[in-house]
Amino acid sequence: DTGVSQDPRHKITKRGQNVTFRCDPISEHNRLYWYRQTLGQGPEFLTYFQNEAQLEKSRLLSDRFSAERPKGSFSTLEIQRTEQGDSAMYLCASRPEKRGNEQFFGPGTRLTVL
Amino acid sequence: AQKVTQAQTEISVVEKEDVTLDCVYETRDTTYYLFWYKQPPSGELVFLIRRNSFDEQNEISGRYSWNFQKSTSSFNFTITASQVVDSAVYFCALSAYSGGGADGLTFGKGTHLIIQP
């Protein structure tokens, strides 16, 4: 059983640059989630998809952030004009449709904005 | 709005001691789910347990046990006979029981558990 994978695992960028992260969920999971985790804090919900539809976005997701899941499989999270405050671990999770099932998390992408 | 509070930032115990991690939550939903996740030093969140709000039966899994008390909005986690491998950050989380949305998990800030040999 292949788990949730994320790429890249680490990204260092300069302020103002754009970055894109990829998440591949567990294959039969139609719900996909993005979270952000800063040092010493719990993960914070950003957005989620049911198949290709983006159903909810957190207030944390500023207009510099955009997420897509074009074919209901993998998802991308893009951050435009990165700021130092964007430095964090970006986590992806997935789960099947059935209500209440736990979310399975990927290893995360650690972003450092210089 | 939902909120999860883990008041214990860090706990340090000696191996083989029992330890309880506290979790208090707030929600306006009448039905909801509660979770515990473990984040070892490697960083990947590992699911431990899910509890429905309408099921207050406590659960035991090996050295792990969970005490859900709806009256006090608490979902505490106890590790019996702790081991060094239990060292990690533990997160309590909450999600609404709704069909169309509000599906993201609300996490507490986590409790860093250190088991000393």
Taking residues B24-29, report their average pLDDT: 93
Q: Give pLDDT, residue B99.
A: 53
Does residue B33 sit at the A interface (CB-CB below 8 Å)?
Answer: yes
Contacts of B62 (CB under 8 A, 6+ apart): none
Taking residues B82-109, report their average pLDDT: 86
Helix (H, G, I), strand (E, B) or coil at A108: coil
Whether the pLDDT of residue A20 is over 80: the answer is yes
CB distance B44–A102 less than 8 Å?
A: no
Q: Report the gap between the CA of B45 and the closest CA in chain A (Å).
A: 6
CB distance A55–B91 less than 8 Å?
A: no
Q: What residues in A contact B46, CB-CB < 8 Å?
A: 105
- Number of C-beta neighbours around residue A33 at 10 A: 26
Nearest Cβ partner for A48 among B46, B91, B103? B103
Structure confidence at residue A2 as a pLDDT band (50, 70, 90): confident
- Please write the tens of the pLDDT for every residue from A39-84: 999 999 999 999 999 988 888 889 999 999 998 899 999 999 999 9
| Nearest chain A residue (CA) to B98 | A99
Greater pLDDT, A1 or B69: B69
- Number of C-beta neighbours around residue B99 at 10 A: 8
Q: What residues in B contact A47, CB-CB < 8 Å?
A: 104
Mutate to test the interface with A, among B45, B46, B51, B91 (most CBs of A within 10 A): B45
| Helices and strands: H and E segment counts in chain A | 0, 11
Q: What residues in A contact B91, CB-CB < 8 Å?
A: 42-43
Whether the pLDDT of residue B101 is over 60: the answer is no
Q: Give pLDDT, residue A16.
A: 97
The β-bridge partners of A16 are none
Question: Do A4 and A23 contact (CB within 8 A), yes or no?
Answer: yes
Q: Give pLDDT, residue A86.
A: 97
Whether the pLDDT of residue B98 is over 80: the answer is no
Question: Do B82 and B64 contact (CB within 8 A), yes or no?
Answer: no
Does residue B107 sit at the A interface (CB-CB below 8 Å)?
Answer: yes
Q: Give pLDDT, residue B31.
A: 86
Nearest Cβ partner for B104 among A33, A102, A108? A33
Q: Give pLDDT, residue B60.
A: 85
> Mean pLDDT for chain A?
93
